[in-house]
Structure 1
């Protein structure tokens, strides 16, 4: 016990001495440099080894698909770069998540919450913080029932919400990148892919290269299902491929591939991303009516997007003829749905608090739903028939 306590007390000084020794020329500095070089070589070799299964599946695609894609072949190098950056970037994400959990669990100890004045009257010389607290306290009690014990409940809720969110994202990422582990290393020529874009941090490489990994992985899934469809016709019991895992990467492509763009360029990128996502959804929907053609088109589109993303052509991810009869997708549909739901709940609760009769609340609900949906959907007004069907159910 004494040894553990002594190490705990001396650990900051030991770290400081070690850092000083690494900065001073000598055997310890040479050992540190050699260890770092070995770590970098391990990262490069690990990136090539882990990227090989997915790249093998890309090599085994039918020639007719390769002929329709074109490009300079930059996408495979992005896969290797992402796998190489993953050990460092993953450690940074884990550490950041652990710090966030620590803050959430100890938020009760960060202030004397019980002596804060949760009063609508801030009092004389209250200061800005008390003014804000009094503003919150002045809200109707039906909307914000708050006491000091609620802080503990909120922190516990946030803690488990963070855990659940991390688990969901981890499962999705694992399922996505683990779909091609059964391939062999010898089927793909990996020479030349070990080159790495130096002077880039691991976090930047992880952020920049992940969209290509996601796009190629879903393209490989489409190719596997297409091969099964061609081999087992007319048996239609084949899995349906979803493009949902790559939609977020497409929406954020202008941010992950380049630095932050100007406002007018950002609007242009978002409009193009909406068309690209809409084209992918249209092809995905055709899997029920024409599976073979739909899966081949999806594979070609995903490979084309990945290649052009790697080339930096963010505003030209697909050709114009691929946008024929495509309805642009609405960005952040899930967030919009949540906001619409919360707004409707607040409006209806406010109407009830104001004393609106129950007979008037029933027809008010569909009107509020449609109105809020129109506002958050940027002016797409339903027809008169749709209004009538909502207000007067048949």
Structure 2
């Protein structure tokens, strides 16, 4: 936090930092896809995904210190993010952080595939239920769409808009 920042502003500033750490974590998880250094089914993918999970754990551990020592935690987070960015630019996806910074850490679980599967299963069940319901056919389309929006909002929360953007991209919109 900036020195002399009002105490009332700290919670808001900490939420901003937490949101930024979340965005960095997502980018780290996608780095093996976005950097363009791997073939589609490379044997190196699993190692890079594991390293990304460990890097996310290191970021989360530094973020957790915001509640006990915010100034030191911000310094540490800034250092980690700068190192990750530099290494990404250099193409060092398997060493976004040094070994001593990730030793003993377990990779953070990636729940995105599970979320996608849950959303798809719920949408399929809701669509089937709507088709079986005794409602006019013209209303079914709108009800299925509404169910889809509700399910995405429930499963993805604030990230529902991004999930909708992915769907738009897939259908060619």
TM-score grouping bracket, smaller chain normalisation: 0.5 to 0.7
Residue 56 of structure 2: which of 249, 274, 277 is its match?
277
CA distance in 2 between counterparts of 1:282 and 1:236 reads 25
Q: Please, what TM-score do these two structures have when normalized by structure 1?
A: 0.27
CA distance in 2 between counterparts of 1:236 and 1:286 reads 19
Based on CA coordinates, which of the two structures has the bigger radius of gyration? 1
- Structure 1 stretches lacking a partner, 5+ long: 1-224, 350-394
Distance 1:338 1:259, change over 3 A: closer
CA distance in 2 between counterparts of 1:342 and 1:311 reads 37
Matched, 1:320 2:99: yes
CA shift, 1:325, in A, is 4.6
Q: Which residue number in structure 1 is paired with residue 140 of structure 2?
A: none
Q: Which residue number in structure 2 is paired with residue 337 of structure 1?
A: 115
Instruction: Check the 8 A contact 1:282/1:326 in 2, yes or no.
Output: no
CA distance in 1 between counterparts of 2:31 and 2:47 reads 12
CA shift, 1:320, in A, is 1.4
Please give the residue correspondences for 1:351-362 in structure 2 after superposition, counting only pairs within 5 Å: none
CA shift, 1:321, in A, is 1.6
Q: Which residue number in structure 2 is paired with residue 250 of structure 1?
A: 28
**Number of residue pairs matched by the alignment:** 118
CA distance in 2 between counterparts of 1:310 and 1:334 reads 25
CA shift, 1:324, in A, is 4.1
CA shift, 1:313, in A, is 0.7
SS of the residue 2:68 aligns to:
coil
Cα offsets for 1:242-291 (capped at 9, x unmatched): 21112222112122223333532011111111111111111112111111
CA distance in 2 between counterparts of 1:342 and 1:253 reads 25
Q: Which residue number in structure 1 is paired with residue 67 of structure 2?
A: 288
Distance 1:325 1:256, change over 3 A: same
CA distance in 2 between counterparts of 1:281 and 1:256 reads 22
Matched, 1:265 2:44: yes
Matched, 1:232 2:11: no
- Structure 2 stretches lacking a partner, 5+ long: 129-173
CA shift, 1:335, in A, is 4.2
Cα offsets for 1:12-62 (capped at 9, x unmatched): xxxxxxxxxxxxxxxxxxxxxxxxxxxxxxxxxxxxxxxxxxxxxxxxxxx
CA distance in 1 between counterparts of 2:6 and 2:103 reads 30
CA distance in 2 between counterparts of 1:313 and 1:321 reads 16
Cα offsets for 1:271-318 (capped at 9, x unmatched): 111111111111112111111121111000000001111111110000
CA shift, 1:342, in A, is 5.9
SS of the residue 2:94 aligns to:
coil
Q: Please, what TM-score do these two structures have when normalized by structure 2?
A: 0.58
CA distance in 1 between counterparts of 2:72 and 2:83 reads 16
Structure holding more helix per residue: 2
SS of the residue 1:270 aligns to:
helix
